[in-house]
């Protein structure tokens, strides 16, 4: 099993490396430089700028410098926010984004899985219909719509939560809820259908036939099998949370890296775009790796297969 | 021998959105201590539902409508689910058809066996593990100390069924219900499992109900046989009665559809024509009347009563009525069922 | 009991007619099961409605998505109107424009503001022959606090202080945006853009995915391993990021840029699916059996391979379309969508964001359109999955 994890780890490193490379060349293939504006910049200034940001060096040299910077976590200066480095932006923005994202993930797991289980156990009862109705609604409403609805009602009409920033605990409610809405609903639906499937399995009947208490039949024998597909989904969920943060941070005016990313996209701030892309992608790759590890830990059959082939 | 289990007029139905499916329509039989009872019938005959009713494992939308299940004199139909769960795996155990799916794939054998042992007996983990290993050795798992740490997918089908048997017997039940325990296995493995059950029968002193659609399986192990069809019991008797002196046209039909070593090469197997009755709208009379070669007018209108043939044999067929015409000996001659 | 009861009956006289099951082709069977699946049929109807709404309904409107009338900006779908003279109705906008409205909700024209007294909060409007004085100082000026009404209109008679009625806006059924464009028409054209992007991107995905997946499965061996490694790597990348990067890279934000961006990235899922299907079918014994029985190649492909492989592919297509709608609206929402004056649903939602608290309806309609589309496609997809999986064929 150790060799399986080692191989997965090496693939992850390779993936991150490829992502960084592809991103670099994508950004550098954009016609015109980052300083191409609608009004032409005087040649002299252009030359100074290009020199300052090392843009006149040959591409392979820039690539080498960039990769060297990545390994030492130095993403270089920001092109649009003169005087700040991308590292500054990330170190100020990332903790906020991470906090909201982590709370959203927590909410998804801690609420989505239990209500999916309850819904499955009470199949075709009113509580099941209610949960499924809400969950179906949840997967049809994009996060930006949910966020604006929350702002409109809870911040605007009712005034329960602030409509921007992250100063008090209340101010987390809106962004976390908006960010987790879709995935929470999805996880609830997934858990329910997976649970219903598992409850029909022979081994659940065996557990009952062996006289195990209902709590053990459900809590031990059914749940562990039922959450296997949910674990698989949690990797992509992290991606949904991260990309969700692009709009959520914009709507709730949270100065996190999601908002910086959107700003840098409209300002053509290439170093920031590259840095955040690589950061997000690496984060995602690591999450997928962790999910794979968790998967192998929960399901012995996977461990067995991967080892043998 | 004293009576261990007595099922009286059991009626179990499933209330689906299509209507009431009458899976078991009044089944009665008794089982003595230490005896092996075979229940034989094709799929949909109600044999598995009968077993699940005894276990108290009929799930929504199913329900035991009527009848009594007396286990050591206590009516199990009156037991609450938690009372039943005290009994299950302890006094009454059950093993199922498909050993590949009947063990939980994400837990080790040890985990699953120790859990059952500790649920029913006041013993520690180490003690439970020791007993589990003993049980595995008893059912013929090689190197049980090592194998107990394995996951189900690391066992072959036959070995898994042995594990299932070990698990079911671990608390020393008085009754073991085996629902098609060999159907999902290869023929050679089937024989091994049957041999094992025969051997265990002597050693564990538990009564066994063996459910199967295969008369051949029944012949080797059972003292007593119940033949079910369309949710009702057609014929009961000892192994000898059922095999050498069957009285019910359905039992006879079953015999004719099995190939035998003695059958002449050119003779044909005679299948029972038609399909089993629709239990959503069961026929008014005998469930077998639509397929029976000796259908009489009465068979279509009234369900036959159970006629005693001898001390050990009964048959639910109007042909047993004194007013009915006599028909040929079933097994060796007759015109067969067409 | 009567002895006559105990006579044999002839089976041929018994009503033994077994319900003969019709033999159905794959598609007949799938359609029959889909028809039974109520949510799926509701989803299908929803999908048809959305398609008609986006592609047919705009043919019947006289206005274009880009027609703007600044005078009529930010009008809500429900108008509170005052009857200031006999059969003369007006509507007051939030920025104090006075519009003449018919009693049934048609916008007729704007009254010019000819005098304004900002201190006493008195405005005078005129349409040429009728002068109206608006007093909006109630509950604002010290002397006029605690008034039960906020506005009064005076023509040359008694003050009109209470609205005559609320009517639906007939000119702008879904309201108008900040430039006075008809939101209903814009949502229709938004549907056209969103659906076109989603459909075409899904077809591009399908083509690339099928080509890539079947090639990998067909070639097998080393080629397969390398091709699937690439897919694995692409699969462990957050793809939305790359759609965004491609949008940034291409710069020119037309419909096709979006289609290319979505189509070039999301084929990975399809490629995996197709490869899996082809691989498993190749090995299936029923294919071997059909071949051994001398079934014609054409029949093997069309009667055995296609029905088994196409189900999952169609289901995945149906699920891909709402996902593409979702992604497209997301990209548009962060400002990288098709360029103005064209607008997809995401762009409309984004535009509504600035005036959200005053004009929530501007968000409501595009959001409703997205949610309705998502719901319809999801329900249809769920039903199709049940209907097209031959392994589930029963009953």
Residue B266 neighbours by CB distance under 10 Å: 5
Q: What percent of chain A has pLDDT over 70?
A: 90
Closest residue to B120, CB basis, from A211, A225, A228: A211
User: CA separation (Å) from B17 to A196, B46, B61, B62, B280?
Assistant: 19, 20, 9, 12, 11
Residue B178: enclosing H or E segment and its boundaries? strand B175-179
Query: In chain B, which residues have their Cβ closer than 8 Å to the Cβ of A209?
Result: 55, 57, 88-89, 93-94, 96, 168
Band the pLDDT of A223: cuts 50, 70, 90: very high
Same domain, C111 and C191: no
Band the pLDDT of B151: cuts 50, 70, 90: very high
Query: What's C355's domain CATH number?
Result: 1.10.3720.10
Spell out the residues 6+ positions from residue A45 whose beta carbon is closer than 8 angstroms to its own.
none
Asked if A293 is an interface residue toward chain C (Cβ–Cβ < 8 A), one would say no
Query: How do residues C129-176 score in pLDDT, each as one tens digit?
Result: 888 888 888 888 887 788 888 888 888 777 788 788 888 888 888 888
What pLDDT, on the 0 to 100 scale, is given for residue B132? 94
Last residue of some domain: C168, C203, C226?
Answer: C168
Query: In chain C, which residues have their Cβ closer than 8 Å to the Cβ of A26?
Result: 245-246, 249
Residue B212: enclosing H or E segment and its boundaries? strand B207-212
Query: How do residues C211-240 score in pLDDT, each as one tens digit?
Result: 888 888 777 788 888 888 888 777 777 777
Question: Does a structural domain hold residue A83?
Answer: no
Choose the most confident range, by mean pLDDT, from A21-30, A259-268, B103-112, B307-316: B103-112
Q: What phi and psi values does residue A192 have, to the nearest 5 degrees?
A: -60, -50
Contact C357 A250 (CB under 8 A): no
Same domain, C313 and C338: yes
| Dihedral Cα B280, B284, B287, B288, nearest 10 deg | -130
Q: What is the mean pLDDT of residues C310-339?
A: 83
DSSP assignment string, A181-249: HHHHHHHHHHHHHHHHHHHTSHHHHHHHHTT--HHHIIIIIIHHHHHHHHHHHHHHHHHHHHHHHHHHH
Residue C295 to residue C278: CA distance in whole angstroms: 19
First to last CA, chain B: 42
Query: In chain B, which residues have their Cβ closer than 8 Å to the Cβ of A301?
Result: 105, 151, 153
Question: Does a structural domain hold residue C22?
Answer: no
Residue C32 to residue C334: CA distance in whole angstroms: 43
Query: What's A156's domain CATH number?
Result: 1.10.3720.10
What pLDDT, on the 0 to 100 scale, is given for residue A184? 93
For chain C, the residues whose C-beta falls within 8 A of a C-beta of chain A are 232-233, 236-241, 244-246, 248-249, 251, 326, 329-330, 333-336, 346, 349-350, 352-353, 356-357, 360, 363, 367, 370-372, 374-375, 378
Q: What phi and psi values does residue B81 have, to the nearest 5 degrees?
A: -65, -35
Check pLDDT > 90 for residue B7: yes
Domain count, chain A: 1
Same domain, C144 and C280: no
Q: What is the mean pLDDT of residues C339-353?
A: 82
Last residue of some domain: C120, C143, C168?
Answer: C168
Q: What is the mean pLDDT of residues B258-269?
A: 66
Question: Does a structural domain hold residue A77?
Answer: no
Position with higher pLDDT, A29 vs A68: A68
Closest residue to B116, CB basis, from A212, A301, A304: A212
Residue C165 neighbours by CB distance under 10 Å: 12
Query: How do residues C270-320 score in pLDDT, each as one tens digit?
Result: 888 888 887 777 777 787 888 888 888 777 766 777 667 777 888 888 888
Query: In chain C, which residues have their Cβ closer than 8 Å to the Cβ of B295?
Result: 8-9, 11, 14
Question: Does a structural domain hold residue C27?
Answer: no
Check pLDDT > 90 for residue A49: no
Contact B88 A211 (CB under 8 A): yes
Same domain, C159 and C280: no
User: CA separation (Å) from C156 to B41, C81, C153?
Assistant: 97, 19, 10
Asked if A13 is an interface residue toward chain C (Cβ–Cβ < 8 A), one would say no
Query: How do residues C117-130 score in pLDDT, each as one tens digit?
Result: 888 888 888 887 88
Residue B337 to residue B195: CA distance in whole angstroms: 33
Question: Does a structural domain hold residue A131?
Answer: yes
Across chain B, mean pLDDT equals: 85
Residue A118 to residue A132: CA distance in whole angstroms: 11
Residue A18 neighbours by CB distance under 10 Å: 15
Band the pLDDT of A222: cuts 50, 70, 90: very high
Question: Does a structural domain hold residue A48?
Answer: no
CA-based nearest residue in chain C for residue B294: C8
Query: How do residues C55-96 score in pLDDT, each as one tens digit?
Result: 888 888 877 777 777 788 888 888 888 888 878 888 888 888
Band the pLDDT of A31: cuts 50, 70, 90: low
Same domain, C207 and C318: yes
What pLDDT, on the 0 to 100 scale, is given for residue A308? 40
Check pLDDT > 80 for residue B266: no
Last residue of some domain: C137, C168, C199?
Answer: C168
Q: What percent of chain B has pLDDT over 70?
A: 94
Residue C83 neighbours by CB distance under 10 Å: 16
Largest CA distance in chain B: 67
Same domain, C204 and C333: yes
Cβ C324 vs Cβ C370: under 8 Å: no
Band the pLDDT of A112: cuts 50, 70, 90: very high
Question: Does a structural domain hold residue C296?
Answer: yes
Same domain, C117 and C187: no
Query: In chain A, which residues have their Cβ closer than 8 Å to the Cβ of B53?
Result: none
Same domain, C249 and C348: yes
What pLDDT, on the 0 to 100 scale, is given for residue A111? 95
Query: In chain B, which residues have their Cβ closer than 8 Å to the Cβ of A228?
Result: 106
Across chain C, mean pLDDT equals: 81
CA-based nearest residue in chain A for residue C354: A251
Domain count, chain C: 2
What pLDDT, on the 0 to 100 scale, is given for residue A107? 94
Question: Does a structural domain hold residue C16?
Answer: no
Contact B106 A224 (CB under 8 A): yes
Same domain, C156 and C272: no
Query: How do residues A248-293 score in pLDDT, each as one tens digit?
Result: 888 888 888 888 888 887 777 778 888 888 888 888 888 888 888 8
Q: What domains lie within chain B, and their CATH numbers?
A: 3-214 (3.40.50.300)
Q: In terms of DSSP H, where are the helices of chain B?
A: 47-55, 81-87, 99-102, 109-120, 125-138, 144-147, 157-169, 187-204, 215-221, 239-244, 249-256, 297-301
What pLDDT, on the 0 to 100 scale, is given for residue B206? 86
C165-168 and C122-126: which strand pairing? unpaired
Query: How do residues B68-112 score in pLDDT, each as one tens digit?
Result: 999 998 999 999 988 999 999 999 999 988 888 899 999 999 999
Query: In chain C, which residues have their Cβ closer than 8 Å to the Cβ of B294?
Result: 8
What pLDDT, on the 0 to 100 scale, is given for residue C306? 67
Closest CA to C267 of C227, C212, C305: C212
Cβ C205 vs Cβ A245: under 8 Å: no
User: CA separation (Å) from C308 to B232, C23, C26, C302, C311?
Assistant: 41, 18, 10, 10, 6
Q: What is the mean pLDDT of residues A160-169?
A: 77
Check pLDDT > 90 for residue A104: yes
Q: What is the mean pLDDT of residues B268-280?
A: 76
Residue C236 to residue A286: CA distance in whole angstroms: 9
Q: How far is C41 from chain B (nearest CA, A)?
A: 20
Contact C237 A19 (CB under 8 A): yes
Question: Does a structural domain hold residue C212?
Answer: yes
Same domain, C201 and C282: yes
Contact B167 A225 (CB under 8 A): no
Contact A210 B88 (CB under 8 A): yes
Q: What phi and psi values does residue C141 have, to the nearest 5 degrees?
A: -95, 150
**Domain housing C346:** 183-392
Question: Does a structural domain hold residue A188?
Answer: yes
Q: Which of A83-97, A195-209, B196-210, C247-261 has the lowest mean pLDDT?
A: C247-261
Position with higher pLDDT, A205 vs A72: A205
Query: In chain C, which residues have their Cβ closer than 8 Å to the Cβ of B296?
Result: 5-9
Query: How do residues A129-157 score in pLDDT, each as one tens digit?
Result: 999 889 988 888 888 888 888 888 888 77
**Domain housing A236:** 100-255
Question: Does a structural domain hold residue A147?
Answer: yes
What pLDDT, on the 0 to 100 scale, is given for residue A304? 55
What pLDDT, on the 0 to 100 scale, is given for residue A36? 57
Closest CA to A295 of A224, A237, A192: A224
Spell out the residues 6+ positions from residue A256 whose beta carbon is closer than 8 angstroms to its own.
A93, A94, A96, A97, A100, A245, A249
Same domain, C262 and C357: yes
Q: Which of A245-254, B209-218, B269-278, C258-267 has the lowest mean pLDDT?
A: B269-278
Band the pLDDT of A23: cuts 50, 70, 90: confident
> B246-250: long-range contacts at Cβ-Cβ below 8 A with a sequence spacing of 24 or more?
B246/B330, B246/B331, B247/B309, B247/B313, B247/B315, B247/B317, B247/B319, B247/B320, B247/B330, B248/B315, B248/B316, B248/B317, B249/B288, B249/B292, B249/B293, B249/B294, B249/B317, B249/B319, B249/B330, B249/B337, B250/B288, B250/B292
**pTM listed for this prediction:** 0.81
Asked if B301 is an interface residue toward chain A (Cβ–Cβ < 8 A), one would say no
What pLDDT, on the 0 to 100 scale, is given for residue B337? 40
Check pLDDT > 70 for residue B269: yes
Contact B297 C3 (CB under 8 A): no
Check pLDDT > 90 for residue B50: yes
Choose the most confident range, by mean pLDDT, from A227-231, A258-262, B116-120, B179-183: B116-120
Cβ A260 vs Cβ A272: under 8 Å: yes
Same domain, C149 and C197: no
Closest CA to C97 of C72, C120, C80: C72
Check pLDDT > 60 for residue C15: no
């Amino acid at each position: 099993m150790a060799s399986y994890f080692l191989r997965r780890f090496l693939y992850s490193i390779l993936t991150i490396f490829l992502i960084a490379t592809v991103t670099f060349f994508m950004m550098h293939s954009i016609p015109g430089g980052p300083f191409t504006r609608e009004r032409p910049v005087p040649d002299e200034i252009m030359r100074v700028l290009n020199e300052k940001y090392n843009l006149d060096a040959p591409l392979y040299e820039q690539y080498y410098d960039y990769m060297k910077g990545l390994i030492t976590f130095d993403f270089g200066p920001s092109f649009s926010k003169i005087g700040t480095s991308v590292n500054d932006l990330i170190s100020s923005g990332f903790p906020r984004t991470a906090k909201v994202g982590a709370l959203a993930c927590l909410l998804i797991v801690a609420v989505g899985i239990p209500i999916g289980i309850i819904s499955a156990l009470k199949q075709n009862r009113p509580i099941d219909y209610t949960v499924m109705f809400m969950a179906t609604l949840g997967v049809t409403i994009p996060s930006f719509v949910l966020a604006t609805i929350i702002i409109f009602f809870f911040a605007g009409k009712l005034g329960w939560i602030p409509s921007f920033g992250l100063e008090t605990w209340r101010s987390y409610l809106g962004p976390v809820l908006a960010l987790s809405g879709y995935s929470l609903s999805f996880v609830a639906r997934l858990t329910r259908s997976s649970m219903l499937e598992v409850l029909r399995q022979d081994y659940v009947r065996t557990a009952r036939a062996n006289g195990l208490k209902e709590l053990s039949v459900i809590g031990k024998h059914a749940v562990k099998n039922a959450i296997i597909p949910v674990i698989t989904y949690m990797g992509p969920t992290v991606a949904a949370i991260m990309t969700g943060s692009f709009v959520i941070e914009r709507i709730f005016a949270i100065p996190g890296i999601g908002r910086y990313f959107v700003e840098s996209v409209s300002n053509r701030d290439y170093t920031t775009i590259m840095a955040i892309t690589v950061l997000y992608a690496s984060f995602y790759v690591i999450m997928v790796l962790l999910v794979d590890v968790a998967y192998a830990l929960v399901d012995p059959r996977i461990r067995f297969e991967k080892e043998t082939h | 021998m004293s009576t261990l289990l007595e099922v009286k007029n059991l009626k179990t139905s499933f209330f689906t959105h299509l209507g009431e499916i009458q899976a078991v329509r009044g089944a009665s039989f008794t089982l003595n201590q230490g005896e092996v009872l075979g229940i034989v019938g094709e799929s949909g005959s109600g044999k598995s539902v009968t077993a699940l009713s005894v276990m108290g494992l009929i799930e929504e939308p199913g329900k035991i409508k009527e009848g009594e299940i007396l286990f050591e004199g206590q009516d199990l139909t009156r037991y609450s689910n938690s009372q039943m769960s005290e009994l299950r795996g302890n006094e009454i155990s059950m093993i199922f058809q498909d050993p590949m799916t009947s063990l939980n794939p994400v837990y080790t054998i040890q985990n699953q066996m120790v859990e059952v042992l500790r649920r029913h007996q006041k013993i520690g983990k180490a003690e439970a593990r020791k007993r589990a290993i003993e049980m595995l050795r008893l059912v013929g798992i090689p190197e049980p100390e090592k194998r107990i740490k394995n996951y189900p997918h690391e066992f072959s089908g036959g070995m898994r069924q042995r594990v299932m048997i070990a698990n079911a017997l671990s608390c020393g039940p008085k009754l073991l219900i085996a629902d098609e325990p060999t159907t999902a296995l290869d023929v050679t493995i089937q024989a091994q499992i049957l041999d094992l059950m025969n051997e265990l029968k002597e050693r564990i002193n538990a009564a066994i109900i063996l459910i199967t659609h295969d008369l051949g399986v029944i012949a080797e192990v059972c003292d007593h046989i119940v033949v079910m069809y369309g949710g009702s019991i057609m014929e009961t008797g000892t192994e000898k009665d059922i095999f050498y002196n069957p009285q019910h046209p359905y039992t006879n039909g079953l015999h004719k559809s099995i190939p035998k070593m003695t059958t002449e090469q050119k003779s044909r197997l005679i299948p029972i024509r038609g399909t089993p009755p629709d239990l959503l709208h069961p026929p008014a009379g005998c469930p077998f009347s639509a397929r029976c070669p000796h259908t009489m007018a009465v068979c279509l209108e009234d369900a036959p009563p159970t006629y005693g043939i001898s001390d050990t044999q009964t048959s639910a067929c109007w042909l047993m009525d004194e007013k009915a015409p006599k028909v040929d000996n079933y097994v060796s001659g007759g015109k067969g069922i067409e | 009991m009567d002895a006559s009861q105990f006579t044999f009956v002839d089976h041929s006289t018994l009503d033994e007619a077994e319900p003969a099951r019709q033999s159905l082709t794959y598609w007949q069977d799938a359609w029959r099961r889909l028809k039974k699946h109520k949510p799926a049929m509701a989803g299908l109807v929803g999908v048809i409605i959305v398609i008609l709404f986006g592609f047919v309904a705009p043919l019947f409107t006289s206005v274009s998505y880009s027609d703007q009338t600044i005078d009529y900006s930010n009008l809500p779908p429900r108008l509170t109107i005052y009857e200031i003279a006999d059969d003369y109705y007006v509507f007051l906008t939030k920025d104090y424009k006075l519009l003449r409205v018919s009693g049934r909700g048609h916008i007729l024209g704007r009254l010019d503001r000819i005098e304004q007294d900002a201190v006493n909060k008195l405005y005078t409007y005129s349409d040429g022959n009728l002068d109206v004085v608006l007093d909006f100082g109630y509950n604002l000026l010290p002397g006029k606090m605690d008034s039960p009404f906020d506005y009064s209109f005076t023509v040359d008679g008694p003050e009109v202080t209470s609205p005559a009625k609320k009517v639906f806006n007939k000119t702008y059924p879904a309201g108008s945006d900040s430039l006075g464009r008809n939101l209903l028409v814009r949502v229709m054209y938004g549907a056209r853009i969103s659906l076109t992007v989603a459909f075409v991107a899904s077809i591009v995905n399908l083509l690339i995915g099928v080509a890539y997946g079947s090639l990998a499965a067909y070639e097998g061996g080393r080629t397969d391993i390398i091709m699937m490694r690439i897919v694995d790597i692409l699969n462990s990348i957050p793809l939305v990021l790359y759609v965004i990067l491609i949008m940034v890279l291409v710069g020119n934000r037309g419909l096709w840029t979006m289609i290319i961006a979505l189509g070039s990235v999301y084929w990975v899922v399809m490629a995996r699916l197709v490869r899996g299907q082809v691989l498993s079918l190749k090995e299936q014994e029923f294919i071997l059996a059909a071949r051994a029985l001398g079934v014609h190649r054409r029949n093997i492909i069309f009667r055995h391979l296609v029905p088994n492989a196409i189900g999952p592919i169609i289901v995945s297509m149906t699920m891909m379309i709402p996902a593409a709608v979702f992604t497209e609206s997301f990209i548009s929402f962060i400002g990288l969508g098709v360029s103005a004056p064209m607008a997809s649903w995401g762009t409309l939602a984004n535009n509504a964001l600035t005036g959200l608290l005053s004009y929530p309806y501007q968000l409501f309609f595009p959001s409703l359109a997205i949610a309705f589309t998502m719901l319809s496609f999801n329900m249809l997809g769920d039903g199709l999955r049940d209907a097209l999986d031959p392994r589930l064929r029963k009953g």
